[in-house]
């Protein structure tokens, strides 16, 4: 369904009016994932492959290995819950939302595995792109995969793959290409879409007996869960990327801005408009807009 997937660099940045700014004071240190750069040893694999590997830049080898690893992780995540759903070990609705939550988190967590080259984001984008092709293939019934359909759709219909699940991976693709790991906007948007919206559904379905007065499909406890989980996950992911040197965080300002972003996303998610606009579109777009207004777009 969605992409899944881990560390990075160190940098410093001077204080700025913005709470979050990409750090550009000095180049990133070599990635701890630099083991991925090791060249293939001639004689171990096909000689032609070994020759190509020897001639390839280290960054290309690292990014290629990171792409394969992340793609395999994304497939393994979805397949695991396919099996659990088939064996009735996990409820279909719970399986769908766990995949929803983990896909975005693990995909973002994998970004530091990629090199510091300008092409790294395009390698990372391969993961959601392949997942989008997979959803299109099964959603259009070109091939069938009942386990996949049952684990990531509400009603078990293949055409559902062309709505929420496809929108989800397209947002992942957009975020990695436009924002990448040096922008708090993409990080916060994916955190709210995956963690916030995901936990809102999980908690709301189980404990949401008291509905919102303007939307009987949503509950107070679900909306509160979205705000809290979205806020916390956004802060955790920002800490993750700032500790690796990709962004600078001025926490005394960041917490207030994150609270406003989480509130905006929660309000949008609670609006009774899911028949018109899917949450996987409305929540990240609203988050991107508010985050852009609060954090700014300059990268000083």
Residue matched to tokens 């990372």? 124
- 255-267 confidence digits (pLDDT tens): 999 999 999 999 9
What pTM, to 2 d.p., does this model score?
A: 0.78
Query: Is 184 inside any structural domain?
Result: yes
**H or E element, residue 211:** strand 211-212
Domain count within the chain = 1
- 61-75 confidence digits (pLDDT tens): 999 999 999 999 999
Contact 59, 38 (CB under 8 A): no
- Domain hosting 252: range is 179-299
Q: 3 versus 207: which is more confidently predicted?
A: 207
Residue matched to tokens 């983990």? 102
C-alpha 195: how far from chain center: 9
Query: Is 262 inside any structural domain?
Result: yes
Q: What DSSP character marks residue 70?
A: H
How many Cα atoms sit within 13 Å of 176 on the Cβ side? 27
Which two structure tokens, joined as six digits, stand for 136? 């299109």
Query: Is 269 inside any structural domain?
Result: yes
Q: Using pLDDT thresholds of 50, 70 and 90, give the confidence band for residue 236.
A: very high
pLDDT value at residue 46: 58
Mean pLDDT calculated for residue range 132-137: 92
What proportion of the chain, given as a percentage, has pLDDT over 90? 53
Query: Is 139 inside any structural domain?
Result: no
Query: Is 174 inside any structural domain?
Result: no
Q: Which among 160, 155, 3, 168 has a CA at the least distance from the CA of 78? A: 3
Q: Which positions ≥6 away from 183 have C-beta within 8 Å?
A: 22, 247, 299
Q: Which among 128, 136, 5, 113 has a CA at the least distance from the CA of 64? A: 113
Residues 14 and 276: their CA atoms lie apart, in Å, by: 44
Q: Using pLDDT thresholds of 50, 70 and 90, give the confidence band for residue 9.
A: very low
Q: Which among 14, 40, 18, 4 has a CA at the least distance from the CA of 238? A: 18
Query: Is 197 inside any structural domain?
Result: yes
Query: Is 13 inside any structural domain?
Result: no
Mean pLDDT calculated for residue range 138-167: 84
Query: Is 252 inside any structural domain?
Result: yes
Question: What does pLDDT average to over the chain?
Answer: 82
């Amino acid at each position: 369904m969605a992409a899944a997937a881990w560390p990075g660099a160190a940098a410093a940045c001077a204080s700025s009016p913005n709470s979050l700014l990409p750090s550009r004071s000095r180049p990133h240190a070599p990635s701890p994932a630099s083991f991925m750069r090791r060249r293939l040893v001639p004689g171990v694999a096909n000689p032609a492959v070994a020759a190509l590997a020897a001639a390839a830049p280290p960054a290309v080898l690292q990014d290629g290995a990171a792409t394969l690893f992340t793609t395999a992780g994304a497939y393994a995540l979805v397949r695991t819950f396919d099996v659990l759903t088939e064996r009735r070990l996990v409820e279909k609705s719970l399986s769908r939302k766990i995949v929803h939550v983990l896909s975005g988190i693990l995909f973002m967590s994998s970004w530091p595995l990629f090199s510091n080259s300008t092409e790294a984001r395009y390698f990372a984008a391969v993961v959601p792109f392949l997942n989008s092709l997979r959803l299109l293939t099964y959603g259009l019934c070109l091939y069938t995969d009942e386990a996949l359909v049952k684990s990531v759709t509400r009603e078990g219909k293949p055409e559902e793959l062309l709505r929420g699940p496809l929108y989800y991976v397209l947002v992942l693709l957009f975020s990695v290409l436009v924002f990448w790991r040096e922008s708090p906007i993409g990080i916060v948007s994916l955190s709210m879409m995956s963690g916030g919206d995901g936990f809102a559904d999980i908690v709301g379905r189980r404990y949401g007996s008291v509905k919102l007065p303007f939307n009987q499909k949503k509950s107070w406890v679900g909306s509160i869960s979205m705000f809290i989980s979205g806020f916390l996950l956004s802060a955790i992911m920002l800490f993750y990327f700032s500790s690796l040197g990709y962004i600078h965080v001025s926490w005394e300002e960041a917490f207030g801005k994150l609270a406003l972003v989480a509130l905006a996303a929660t309000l949008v998610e609670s609006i009774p408009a899911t028949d018109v606009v899917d949450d996987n579109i409305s929540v990240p777009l609203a988050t991107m807009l508010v985050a852009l207004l609060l954090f700014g777009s300059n990268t000083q």
